[in-house]
């Protein structure tokens, strides 16, 4: 196995597939490739990769359907690559469970930087392995003095084990959703702008003075929307995620144990 683990490339264009394989090999992955969607799903199932790059325009089934099938059994990082430079495709990819989205032609250096930022996050456990909700509910307190679990209004997030649960029920989050939720939980009361949340996901690739595009910020909005859906959080009376108009997002106020959700 390579230093960074296993990667799967799902791409029908031979030249692009060879380029991606070369980039990932140089980065330190063991690479497996597939030329269509059905084969790609099976390769991911068998090889259990850490990272998947996925083309949208595949010859048999489109990449969005491939992504949905992969998400049924894999928590690998998935980066969608496509020549379609339009927002609806980006939103569809993120809503289907992608961690990132890059348009072709892409720069190998950019792809490596984004993958490096993602791989700095620990891999998640399956929610059934050790649900964070197994410990008793307490009011929010930041992690510290060895404490790795963040709790707020019945939500428990264990950063070390990469698990999250609400009222004892495990949540199935993508890595990007998990990391956004973590950033908000560890900054109670603070408003985090969309740009700050983009940087939290992208790490060193997006330094403080880097330009943050509208599509990057829109991607954060989609991830937040996905989080709200999975949390069943009402944006009109949020239990966890509060939108601050024109500013960004913050954690909703703590509720007393007698308050209804």
DSSP-assigned letters across all residues of 53-70: EEES--SSS-HHHHHHHH
Q: Please provide the distance, in angstroms rounded to a whole number, between the alpha carbons at the two ends of the chain.
A: 46
Tell me what pLDDT residue 196 has: 87
Tokens of 149: 């679990």
Rounded average pLDDT over 68-96: 84
Helix (H) / strand (E) containing 218: helix 214-231
Helices 14-27 and 108-119, packing angle to 10 deg: 50
The domains found in the chain, sorted by start residue, are 5-119 (3.40.50.2300), 132-251 (1.10.10.10)
DSSP-derived pairing of the beta strands 155-158 and 163-166:
antiparallel
- Split at pLDDT 50, 70, 90, the class of 20 is very high
Specify the DSSP class assigned to residue 96: T
| Distance of alpha carbon 155 from alpha carbon 171, whole angstroms | 10
Buried b (16+ CB within 10 A) or exposed e, 83-121: eeeeeebbbbbbbbbbbbbbeeebeeeebbbbbbbbbeb
Q: Collect all residues with Cβ–Cβ distance below 8 Å to 101 and sequence separation of at least 6.
A: 79, 80, 82, 89, 90, 93, 94, 219
On the question of pLDDT at 161 being above 70, the answer is yes
Mean pLDDT, the chain, as a whole number?
Answer: 82
Comparing 50-59, 84-93, 174-183, which segment has the lowest mean pLDDT? Answer: 84-93
pLDDT greater at residue 117 or residue 93:
93
**Range picked from 3-7, 67-71, 158-162, 215-219 for highest mean pLDDT:** 67-71
Q: Are 211 and 202 in contact (CB under 8 A)?
A: no
Q: What is the DSSP letter of 220?
A: H
Highest mean pLDDT among 84-98, 183-197, 213-227: 183-197
Q: What is the pLDDT of residue 99?
A: 86
Closest CA to 148 of 132, 136, 137, 170: 132
Q: How far apart are CA 24 and CA 43, in angstroms?
A: 16
User: What three-state secondary structure class fits 241?
Assistant: strand
- Say whether pLDDT at 133 is over 60: no
For the chain, give the percent of residues with pLDDT over 70. 81
Give the separation between CA 216 and CA 195, rounded to whole angstroms.
Answer: 8
Between 157 and 258, residue with greater pLDDT: 157
Any idea which of 55-64, 79-88, 134-143 has the lowest mean pLDDT?
A: 134-143
User: What is the distance between the alpha carbons of residues 191 and 250, in angstroms, rounded to a whole number?
Assistant: 5
Per-residue pLDDT, 105: 83
Span 11-32, average pLDDT: 94
CB–CB of 104/111 below 8 Å?
A: no
């Amino acid at each position: 196995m390579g230093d960074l683990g296993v990667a799967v490339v799902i791409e029908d264009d031979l030249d692009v597939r060879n380029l991606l394989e070369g980039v990932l090999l140089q980065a330190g992955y063991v690479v497996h490739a597939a030329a269509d969607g059905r084969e790609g799903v099976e390769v991911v199932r068998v090889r259990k990769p850490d990272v998947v790059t996925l083309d949208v325009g595949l010859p048999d089934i489109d990449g969005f359907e491939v992504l949905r099938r992969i998400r049924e059994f894999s928590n690998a990082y998935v980066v969608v690559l496509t020549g379609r430079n339009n927002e609806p495709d980006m939103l569809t990819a993120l809503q289907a469970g992608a961690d990132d989205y890059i348009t072709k032609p892409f720069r190998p250096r950019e792809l490596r930087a984004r993958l490096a930022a993602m791989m700095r996050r620990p891999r998640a456990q399956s929610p059934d392995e050790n649900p964070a909700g197994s410990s008793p509910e307490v009011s929010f307190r930041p992690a510290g003095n060895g404490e790795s679990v963040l709790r707020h209004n019945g939500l428990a997030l264990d950063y070390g084990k990469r698990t999250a649960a609400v009222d004892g029920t495990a949540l199935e989050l993508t890595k990007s959703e998990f990391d956004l939720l973590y950033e908000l939980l560890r900054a109670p009361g603070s408003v985090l702008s969309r740009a700050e949340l983009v940087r939290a996901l992208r790490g060193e690739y997006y330094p403080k003075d880097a330009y943050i595009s509208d599509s990057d910020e829109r991607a954060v909005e989609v991830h937040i929307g996905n989080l709200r859906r999975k949390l069943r959080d009402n944006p009109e009376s949020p239990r966890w995620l509060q939108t601050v108009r024109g500013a960004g997002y913050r954690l909703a106020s703590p509720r007393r144990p007698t308050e209804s959700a």
